[in-house]
Every structure is written in C-alpha cells, then in structure tokens.
Amino acid sequence: MKIGIAGTLESNDVMMTVKESATPKIVIESIVYDYFSKQIRDTIVRTLEEMNINNVEVLCQDRGALDYAIKARLITAIERMRE
C-alpha cells in the first residue's frame, strides 16, 4: 500500500497522511476541531475533487494551519504517495 506524508506537528502547521483505499475516508484531528472542522473538511474535499482523486484515506493532524497550508500539505502528500 502506498503512503504519502507531508507537514509537521509544529504549531500552525498540519501533518497530512494519505494512503490508497478502496473507500474514501477523511479523519481530522485538530486543536481547533470544534470551531473549524467543517472548513478543514471542505478544504480537503475540494482539493481531492480538484485533483480528481477519490480512492484515498486522509489523516489530517492539524495544529492550527490556515487553508492554503492544508491544501499544500495535502497536495504534497498525494504526490509523495504517487512516487
């Protein structure tokens, strides 16, 4: 099974772990989950749709990252998984 990881667990960053999966799944662990879980999930879903990817499991370990960082880390993790 191919796996891609990008990011860190430092403050204001996010670590994305992506692996191939028969069914899509998104798991979000965040220090701001109660406030921003919908926005984080929407960013992940939108990015996957833009890349036409639907066969991955995403683990998002967020430490307060902004949307653009979430998107960039997800794209990088996907590219690393493809290598």
**65-80 pLDDT tens trace:** 999 999 999 999 999 9
Instruction: State if pTM tops 0.85.
Output: yes
Confidence of residue 20 (pLDDT cuts 50, 70, 90): very high
Residue 46, amino acid: R
User: What's the distance, CA 16 to chain centroid?
Assistant: 4
Contact at 8 Å (CB) between 61 and 11?
Answer: no
Confidence of residue 13 (pLDDT cuts 50, 70, 90): very high
3 state SS of 35: helix
User: How is residue 12 written in tokens?
Assistant: 């204001």
CB atoms within 10 A of CB 51: 13
